[in-house]
Amino acid sequence: MIEKIKLIGTGSWIVFIFGLFLVSILTIKVIFTHNVIGSIGSDALGYYAHVRSIFVDGDLHFANEFLEFNPRNHGVPDPHKRTMTDHVPNKYTVGPAILWTPFFITAHLLTMLGEYFGLPLKSDGYTVLYQWFIGLGSIIYGLLGLILIYRICTFFFQKHVALISTSFVALGTNVFYYLTNEPTMSHAMSLFAVSLFAFISIQDTEDYDLKQMFLLGLSGGLMILIRPQNALFFVLMVPKLSWILNIGSSSIEKFRQRMEGWGVLLFTFTMVLLPQFIVWKILYGHYLFYSYEGEGFNFMNPHLLDTLFSARHGLISWTPGILLSLAGLISFYKIERRFALIFSIAFILQWYINASWHCWWFGHSFGGRAYINCSFIFAVGIAMFLTKIDQQPIKHIMQLFFALLILWNIQFAAQLTIGMVPGEEAVDFKQVFLNQLKLPDAIMEKFLEFKK
């Protein structure tokens, strides 16, 4: 039977403190900047338009979302363009909108209640309570994802190692930036859905419990609804297909159980994807549609090295701790050959598809943001690396090094947040280093600007 998902255990107080820190940052940002920036911006405008338009306007016409509620002129789908069904196109999938729905409804009801009692609120879907609750929802999903990553690590390592490796992923990678500065991008929710799918998939690999297959279909469909590239994580299901090699020796009863399990998975998976099929039909006139028109992949000429090492959002160049994680993943092969191989394949598939994307640097980004879905793999690699050095003389030196990597990452994220480094172009790492020394003064200067 599938192991019960225990969300709060060892280190729950750390999760609480980190969550409180994230909510505090969100609250400060929304209070001081909701009229100009808020928490819903950039790609989030496209994802959020689905839930806002349905509940506030009662339709899927996005012209007002992209024209009237885009104060910073972020790159949204062209509001003047029309599809064959006379709708504004929206390339963004509906997964985040589905996950945000309970938080949107809460914000909507509270805003209308505030309006009734004469508070200066407007139930248009974009005022302060909407900004705060949508940001809160994303943070909660991100925290749940980190808890699931911790649980995945405890499957292979001691709890204290799992806690340290998960903490490093939270603080020492670009996960930190997308939980603090841009939580409403899809990445926090992608981290959650992929980690949930991975957590379930590593349980009882030879068992075909219907509950487990239902949850795999549910989480698998959800992770694709959030970011379609997450479909490649279905490679984690390969061990469950090993029975095909011995199909001749299986009993009829065992074969029937397996078919029932896969039937449940496929049915659940299809039902989860159904909202996206319906939205595509309304917007484009087709149940299946490639909505990223004019954007695509160059599979014959991937930027494999650039996506890892380029100063323009390279995964490793911006987040050097990932290199230690990948080294740990190699060592992991010696103790858990099957999982190390399948995790490595999952990462390689993400590496290849990200490197093949026409915009392999992914626009405005803190590092390789498209790799955040691989966070559970990075945590396992870090845990293995920590385990390897646990009895080594360099243990304390490496612990200090990890602490410095976390400090570097947090300060680097702060630089991007306040505009000390470019968000679209390559950075000069020499300048990044020098900026670290100027950061306190720059933060104070930015704070004084907001007060004015």
Q: For 380-418, write each residue's pLDDT tens digit.
A: 999 999 998 877 778 788 889 999 999 999 999 999 988
pLDDT band at 36 (very low <50, low <70, confident <90, very high): very low
With pLDDT > 90 as the criterion, what percentage of the chain qualifies? 66
Residue 362 and residue 348: Cα distance in Å, rounded? Answer: 18
Beta bridge partners of 284: none
pLDDT digits 0-9 by tens, 290-343: 999 889 999 999 999 999 999 999 999 999 999 999 999 999 998 999 999 999
- Give pTM, 2 decimals: 0.92
pLDDT at 428 over 80: yes
Token digits for 254? 């065992």
CB 42 within 8 A of CB 173: no
The average pLDDT across 120-131 equals 90
pLDDT score of 315: 97
Residue type, 291: S
Mean pLDDT, rounded, for 33-59: 82
Residue 353: pLDDT above 50? yes
What tokens appear for 413 in the block? 């994220």
Phi/psi at 357 (5° precision): -65, 140
Closest CA to 284 of 293, 274, 272: 293
